[in-house]
Structures are given as C-alpha cells and as structure tokens.
Chains A and B, each alone.
Chain A
Amino acid sequence: MNKTRISGYIQIILPVLFLAALIIFSKDYLLQVEGRSLFLFDWFWIKDFLKTPAGPLSCLSLFLTQFLHIPWLGALIWVMLLTLSAVATSRLYIKESGYNALAYIPSFILAGANMSLGYLMFIMNSLGYFFGPVLGYLTVILAVTVCRKIRTASGLGLFTVIWGVAGYWFAGYYAFAGLIAAASDLLLSKRDKKEKTVFAIISVAVIILSPLLLYGLTTYNLQQSWTLGLPTALYQETRFRTFCPVIAATLIPVLLPFLSGITDRQSRHPQLIRIAVIVPCILLLFLSWFKDVNFNAEITMIQATDDLDWNKSINTLHDLSSRADKKKDYQPTRIMVLLKDLALIKTGRESQQAFAFDDGGMKQKKSHDIPMVLQIGKELYLHYGIPGFCHRWCLEETGEFGWSYSRLKYLTMASISMNDRTVALKYLDMLDHTLFYRKWSRQQRQICYNDIQAEKTAPYDLILPLVCYDDQLLEDIRGCEYALEHHFLETSSGKATPLYDRIALFWALKSRNATAFWTKFLLYIESSDITKLDRYYQEAAYLYSHIGNNKTLMSLPYDSNTKELYDSFMATMQKYATDIDNLNDARRIFPVRLRNTYYYYYFFVRGLESF
C-alpha cells in the first residue's frame, strides 16, 4: 500500500469514525449546543455582528451551529471543517506524506476542546463558540497561504496592514495568530531579507495597533481586545480552560515551519510516525471527551424535556439506574431526579413509580458553580406552571449568554401560559426568521390566537391547569427545587384543578412533611374522582398514620402489599440500624423491593444538597 493511499485512508477513516462517535454518543449534546445558539435570517440582527471585531466570525459560526438541529448534518459540517483544517495544514506545511499525521494535531485539539466542555456548556457566553475555533483556525491557514503567494515586500506590507485591520474585524484573535504563523513561515523560508523584515515589523505593529485603534475609536475594553473571538465562559477562571486548547491549536502552524527540516525529508518509518502521532491524538481526544454518565444522562433528559418526550426522560434514568445497580455508590444528580419526577408527573405515573428509581444528590462533575436554575430552571418552572419564573430565567440567561432558540421557545411558551400574547408574538417574530423553528413559530402563532386550542395542545394542556392559583411573589435564591416545593406546599388556591392538587400532593410527599401531606392529601381526595389510592399515596398515608400514631388513619383500607412492605422495611431497618450512616449504606443493605418504597425515601433520602 503506498504512502499517499494510507494518508488518504486516514483522511477518510478518522473523520468517519469521529462523526459516527458524535452521532452515537453525543447527539443530544449537539442538540443542546444548537438550542443554546441563535442565527436569524434578519439583516438587522446580522448587522450587529458586523459592528464588532470577531463578530463576523461569530455570525458565521452561529450560521453553521444551526445545522446541529439535524445532529448528523451539523456534525458532518463540523467534521468536514476539521478535516479541511488538517488537509490544508498538511498541504501547506508537510512535503513528505509520511509526516502528514502531524497536520491532524490541531484538528484533534479543536475537537477535544469542544467535546471536553462538559458543564461549561451551560455557561458559555461567547456566541458561536462551537464552530468558531475551527473557522478561526482556517483563517490562520488562509493568512499563511496568502502570504506565501505574495512575492514582493510592498505586497506583503500592504497585505499585513489590510489583514491586520480587516482580518481583525473578521476574526479577532485568529487574524493575529495568522500573522504570527505567517511570520514564522516567512522568517524560516529562503525569501528575501527585506521581505522578512518588512513583514515582521508591520505584523508586530498591526498586532499592537489594531486593538489600540479600536480602543481609541470605540468603547471597547482593551483587556479583551487581543482575545476577541476566543471561546469564553461566564467566569474569568474558565479562561485558561477555554482559551488554552484553541491557542495551542493555532500555535501548531507557528511551530510547523521549525520542523520543516524534518518534515521535508523522506521518512524511513512513515507508519511508525503515523502511529506515534495519531494514537496519542486519539487517546487525547478520548480522554478529553467529557464522558461522565450523569452529565450525558442529564443532557439527554433535558433534551427529552425540551422535546416533551417524557418517556425518553424516564427511560434514560431507568436504564442508567439498571446499569449502575452493580456500582454500589452510584447516585443520580438532583437534576436527573427532578427531570424524572417531572416526566412521571406529565405521564401520570408519579404516584406509582416516583420512588422506584434511585434517588440521590450526586455532585455534578463541574469545576465551577453553575446553579441548577441555569441548567434546567426554565424547563422546571414552565412545566410546573410557574411561567413568570420561566420567563424570568430565560431573560436572565439571555442577559448572560445571549439569545437562543431554546430561550425564545420557552419565553414564548411562558408568555402564552401567562396569557401575555403580545409578548409571545414578539418572540415568535424572532423565531420566524430562523431556519428550523419557523414551523414551530407558525404553530404557536395559531395557539396564541386561540385559547381553546391552547388548552388542548401540548405542552399547554398540562401547564395551564397548573396556572390555577392567584399570583404569588416568590423568590428562588435557595434554588429552584426549594422554590418549587415552597410553591406547591404554601400556595393555596380556591380554584385548584385536580392536576394541581395531584402535583401538590406529590411535592408534599417529597417534602416528608406530615402536616403538608395530610393537607394536600385531603385536597387531592376532594378534587379527584379516584376509587383507589395509588401505591405511594398509600405508603405515605400508612407511614404518617403510624408516625402520628393515629389509629383511625391506620385503619384506612390499605393494600396488603403496603402493609407487608412497611413491616419488612421496619424489620430490616431495626436489624441494621447501627450499620446505616448514609444513603450509600442503606442502598447496600436494603433490597430493591424495599428501596423502591416511600418508607425508604422518607428515612434515607435526606440531606441531599440541591443547588
């Protein structure tokens, strides 16, 4: 097999494998990335990007990010751009095909940078951060390519000045990285000394002066002027994490000319070199890929919630719990538990299944404080019938991270749920200018004008019955889980619907508050037309009647299974009382049958930290 053919195979096989991995393992992640971005086919909106340095690059990146709405398509575009980066680097720098693998390093770094973000994806505040780095890298390569084509000192000088201004306007940091790469390429070439000197001097000058010029003429902050275009997140401390991989990738073209003495000569062991480069790169990508099972489950469940695919949300946690059953210390995160509860409520199964899942409060594997409300606040508040808070958090998120499809959708749904149709139309006007959400926008417009249709259409059919209380003033400074519990336990309504009473009872169960339980229990019994109590309501009633030593309540017609499980649970608890310090101990000791009871939840699922 000749060397060129092997290179060709690498150029095909690696991207195909990466693309397959993306689609198989990170489909929902890609959808969430897309949901947190926005591109409007509206000149008024685009124009704003053209006013800022690196804005055009962000705009182009956002344009491409929208295709992640069809994950395979967006992923394909991204992988093709990464491949193009590798091929272009190879063509530009590597004469001997045995060293071609070196050209793949930047693409691997850039791929790893995006796939390693993990929880940072919730607080990324640079617009178009997903495609931006690869487009920026291609800008770097373009700068070197053009410089090589220019053969005169004056031409180089002119190009440098134009690039220093226009390139900086287009791509910010990447334009300067391109000049540095071109300088490195030029200085190590056999070109005329005068050309090298002119280029070096003018490059340094424009790299220093362009941002200063911008600073002098506008109201930009000088501190950020040289890093415009690089991906950023909410907290300054994350800069190292988000900048480093991208800067490292753009440094490769600076370093490659220094290796030209090697890469221009024929290699004796081309296969070995390929393996020596590609294998660590694959390993690097694999290791940097954020593979935390809870994170991936959370992303899937959030996406399922966004898609109103409640069964998918439930099944995700169910599958994960089944797989993790052998891992004794496994716990889901609070977000998973809350999304599972929401999905069970929406499918009417909470009173039968809510406590049949592993509960817990596993800490998210994140390096920075990212409150739950920034991750799933808008979803929870909308679907639990607190649209004012959904609206609020969409706007808070927008203030920090920019407008997005997802926020616009939730803003619309919250406004419709608040019967604030004028405001809903404002957001729908924006979604009308999108490629993939205009159909949704048209549907919502119909609902906007038709109350009866709204009451029958998902998700409003299960939200509007919850908006049945007099408006309250509420704060969620202690976190959205606490706020939801407070809302359902403290808000009384003379016009409560059966659905509202059912959910209030569920939150009373979750609160382990006997008084709240009995209050909500009576309201639930009054408003519903049930003939038989569901499992967990029976277990809670049986437990609280025993705790309160209330003989009358003890003698309600409970199922025998309720009583039998209670007796077994209490016997087990007494037997192992001294061995149980925490939830993990309990999980080891109690069999699944007893773990799936409300009794277990009441006694052991405590002190879990919400955030």
Chain B
Amino acid sequence: MKKNILFISAAIIFAGCSQVPSSPLSQEELPAIFPDNIGITVPANIAPANFLIDDDADKYLTTLQSGSAQVRISGKKVSIPAKEWRQLLNNGDITVTVYEKKAGSWSRLKPFMIYVSPDQIDNFISYRVIPHSFESYQRLSINQRDLTSFKEKVIYANDMVMKDGSRQCINCHYFKDYKTDYMQFHARQYLGGTIFYKNGQLLKLNMNTDSTLAAAVYPSWHPTHDYIAYSTNKTYQIMHTVDPDRIEAFDEFSDLILYNIRDNAVSIIENSPDRLECHPAWSKDGRTLYYTSADYPEMKSTHEIVSHMNQVKYNLYSKPFDPDTRAWGPTTLVFDAAAIDSSLTWPKISPDGRYMLCCISTHGVFPPYQDASDLLLFDLEQGTRRYTSEINSPCAESYHAWSSTGKWVVLSTRREDGIYTRLYLAHFNDDGTFSKPFALPQRDPEFNRKFLYAFNVPEFTIEPVKVSARKIASFIRGSKATQVSFETKINQKQ
C-alpha cells in the first residue's frame, strides 16, 4: 500500500501535476486514438502501449488507472513512463479515460480498457526492416526488438558490407526453438550465401547445387534433429497496371529440400515437375512435414503462369518423416484450399502442436501483396478450421509467428495504411480465439504513421541474439561460401 501511495505521488508529479477536470461533460463516444489500443489485451511484460489522441482539441488529459495505481498524462501524445506503466501492468486491467478541452470546456470521453494478460510474451522479436520498393533498395536490415522496452538493435544490415553499386538482399532469418544459439538467414547477390550461426560459430553456405533448383529459401528447423526443411524457389515479380495490390510475386518453379546440418548435404523432399511446393513447417514431434503445394500441369512458362495467375492455388499437404532414418512417407492432402477457390500459404504450427495458423488468399504464394489475404486457424486435434476474423482486417495479413508459449502471435498486417506492413501482437485464448491485436508498441505513438520502412518476417525468441552485427558483417565480407553437397539417396516409405 505504501509502495502504491509512493507510486501515485510519483506519477502525478511526473505528469506535471495535471488535475482531472472537476466536472467534465461526459461523452458516450470513445476517443479516436492511434494506434487503436481500445480494448486490446497486452502481456504483463510488454513495453508501454503509447498512443496518440487523434482528435483536435485545445487541451488533453489522459488518466490510466489500474487498481490503486494511476497515471495522468497531459497532451495529445500519451507516452507512458516505463516505470509507471510497469506498475499499472502489475495491478491488472487498465482503465483509460481521455479528457479533451474544446472551446473552454472539458469533456470526458467514454473510458476504455487495456486488458492485461498474465501470460508473458517472449522478450524478443526479430524482423526485417525494408523500404517499400519492389526491386531497388539500399538498406535492409534484420533487427531485434526487446518487447519489454523500446530497445532495438541491428542483427545484420546489408550496407555494412556493400560497396557502392553492389546489391545484397537479406531475408528469411530463422531461429531454432526460440533460442538464438542456432540462427540462419540468407544473403543474396553480393557476397551471398546462407549464413548460419551455430553455438558461436558462423558459416556461409552455398545451398544451390547442380541437382537442386536454386538456393534455399523458406526454412523450417526440425524440432529434434539437425535438419532444416527448405523450399527452393525461382521467384519472379510482375506489376499490376491499376490494381491496388500493385504486384504479384510468384514462383515459376519450386521444390522442397532437406538440409542435413551434420553432413552439410541437401536432399530432395518433393520436386514434382508439375507442382509448386513451398512453405515447409514441421509438426511438434518432427515426424510430419506440412507444406503447401499448387498444381500447374498446363503452365510451363512464366508467361503462362502470368496469364493464369489467378488459377495458381496452393493446398496444404503433409508428409510423414522418420528423423532417424530420414525416410519420407506418402503425401496426404490436408486441406484443399483450391476447392474453395483459395490459396493457402505459410503454415505455422503452435508450440503445443495443436493449432496451425496459415495465410489464406485468393491465389498465389505471396500474400503480403494481396489485400484479400487473411489468417486461417486449423485445430489439428479437432480437425476444424476457421477464419480468425477477430485479428483479420480488410488489408493484407501475412507472415505470422507463435510465441514460445503459444499464448501470443505476431502478425504482419497492412491494416493501418494499406501499404506499409506493420507488426501486431495478439493473445491466443484458451478457447482457441484471439484477443484484439495491438500494434507493436513504439516510443513515439506516431511511429507507424511516419516510419517509411516496412517490417516483415517477425520471429519470436526468448533471448537476445548472441553474435554482433559487426562480427556477422566481417564474416560475410571475409568468407567464401562453402558448397553443400547433394545426397541422392531418398528413402520413401510406401
């Protein structure tokens, strides 16, 4: 109690002794705020969910009340001091009341709640920061954000090694089991290769072999053994003339490969000539590989694919796998998305193995550019599925990831302005529903409106990355890619 009294005093002092208006006019409407934090559920260890009051008034006062803890903040930007925010979170759900002074009189807008979940979120999230262009780019970086604060650091940025005129794309960073002892990402073009970090050691690999289609692309780290399933894709882009989706990214060819880390060798998982396979995802026990695949028997050229773009629909398949013998079983169709005129991509299985969250869109393999892309949740135990309307928006929802506890997901969405992908976090409830998602908190609540880079490929980790950006850059600059070998032996259980 004593502690709380001290805290309240401190909070009031901090807020410049702003007094709550004595007899404000009560309004029935909720305040317009950005980002939309009204009714969101946040984890008890998240950074302050700052927001902007998106309304013109002469003065503003916001109170945040949680139990006996109260914070008052004056001004249009509601930036909550970290210490006081932590106190609020510790006390449970937060009631937020916004007061506005217009034409000399104060009014109190309808209070709203920020619900606090006792489920902690993983402390770190890593993502790619990328300018919104299609082919040209200068700086790309993979950054790591501490979710308990606003601290962000660069894991690696391409301009650390680029010489003028050179180009390097970086993508598909991935961690094993939410820890950072094992990490990988791809560097393309200049000084390119797949960069591995393994227990303090860096490696650069050339995963393109004579017997595979191209370099490795989308990864899924095996949960128990030293394998990574990858798709290998030949991807192209083509632009819309007038559609607000603006671009189509598509695979002309794609297969699935398995990288055996110990032997430094790849083998084929699926390379059917009349199918496009992509987006591998291991089941919890590592004995089943889920992946997506589209049928395209009559489309043998880029031109044909382009002219039949809307007909390329990816279904969800699974394939049994024995991690000890590396033997694959027969393929099973899990979900026929094409039958409902849709395309399913990026399956991600919850850590408990029960749920699978996927993107579903009208066609193709690359949903970030499709406004129609939404998230679809499979309950693998019950054999049911549903559109997660509580976290979907009219704009594109794309890359998503489960937290290590399975209690939170991060999703990439363009809901704010239709063009810049932003990261939102949502609580996954025990009944298989999500709470209202909230924007990744930023120190400046206007950040998402003004930041002219997009975020993508968010991945949770429970610990910070253990290798410095400088070390990675020096390694990339100074090392040649080691060629992986190709294993011809394929075990197929029939």
Contacts of A389 in B (CB 8 A): 239, 241
For the complex, is A526 an interface residue (Cβ under 8 Å from B)? no
Contacts of A164 in B (CB 8 A): none
For the complex, is A55 an interface residue (Cβ under 8 Å from B)? no
For the complex, is B444 an interface residue (Cβ under 8 Å from A)? yes
Contact B133 A398 (CB under 8 A): yes
Contact A403 B418 (CB under 8 A): no
Q: Main secondary structure on chain A at its contact with chain B? A: helix
How many B residues touch the partner, as a band?
Answer: 35 or more
Smallest Cβ-Cβ distance to B447: which chain A residue: A44
Q: Do A219 and B241 form a contact, CB below 8 Å, given A44-B446, A400-B136, A423-B417? A: no
Contact A473 B163 (CB under 8 A): no
For the complex, is A189 an interface residue (Cβ under 8 Å from B)? no
Q: Do A426 and B241 form a contact, CB below 8 Å, given A236-B164, A391-B246? A: no
Contacts of B214 in A (CB 8 A): none
Q: Do A426 and B417 form a contact, CB below 8 Å, given A388-B239, A398-B131? A: yes
For the complex, is A467 an interface residue (Cβ under 8 Å from B)? yes
Contacts of B244 in A (CB 8 A): 418-420, 423
For the complex, is A535 an interface residue (Cβ under 8 Å from B)? no
Query: Scoring B residues 153 to 180 as 1 if CB is less than 8 Å from chain A, else 0, what string do you get?
Result: 0100101111111000000000000000
Query: Scoring B residues 468 to 494 as 1 if CB is less than 8 Å from chain A, else 0, what string do you get?
Result: 011001000000000000000000000
What is the CB-to-nearest-CB distance from B306 to chain A, in angstroms, rounded to a whole number? 5
Q: Main secondary structure on chain B at its contact with chain A? A: loop
Contacts of B134 in A (CB 8 A): 392, 395-396
Contacts of B447 in A (CB 8 A): 44
Q: How far is the CA of A339 from the CA of B447 in the complex (A)?
A: 39
Q: How far is the CA of A232 from the CA of B165 in the complex (A)?
A: 11
Contact B470 A471 (CB under 8 A): no
How many A residues touch the partner, as a band?
Answer: 35 or more
Smallest Cβ-Cβ distance to A232: which chain B residue: B164
Q: Which one of B241, B420, B446, B473 contacts A474 once the chains associate, using CB atoms below 8 Å?
A: B241
Contact B242 A473 (CB under 8 A): no
Q: How far is the CA of A420 from the CA of B447 in the complex (A)?
A: 22
| Chain A contacts with B in 346-385, Cβ cutoff 8 A | 385
Smallest Cβ-Cβ distance to A470: which chain B residue: B242
Contacts of B238 in A (CB 8 A): 473-475
What is the CB-to-nearest-CB distance from B368 to chain A, in angstroms, rounded to a whole number? 14
Contacts of A392 in B (CB 8 A): 134, 239, 246-247
Q: Which one of A42, A396, A422 contacts B418 once the chains associate, using CB atoms below 8 Å?
A: A422
Q: How far is the CA of A476 from the CA of B420 in the complex (A)?
A: 24
For the complex, is B138 an interface residue (Cβ under 8 Å from A)? yes
Q: Which one of B157, B246, B419, B470 contacts A426 once the chains associate, using CB atoms below 8 Å?
A: B419
Which of A42, A237, A396 has the most chain B CB atoms inside 10 A of its CB?
A396
What is the CB-to-nearest-CB distance from B76 to chain A, in angstroms, rounded to a whole number? 14
Q: Which one of B133, B162, B450, B469 contacts A45 once the chains associate, using CB atoms below 8 Å?
A: B450
Contact B242 A387 (CB under 8 A): yes
The 3 A-B residue pairs whose C-beta atoms are closest, nearest first, are A399-B133, A236-B164, A236-B165
Q: B residues within 8 Å of A by Cβ?
A: 131-138, 141, 154, 157, 159-165, 238-244, 246-248, 306, 309, 417-420, 444, 446-447, 449-450, 452, 469-470, 473
Chosen A-B contacts, 19 in total, with CB atoms closer than 8 Å, are A221-B161, A385-B242, A386-B242, A387-B241, A388-B242, A391-B246, A397-B136, A398-B133, A399-B136, A400-B137, A420-B244, A422-B418, A425-B417, A426-B419, A426-B449, A469-B241, A471-B240, A474-B239, A475-B239
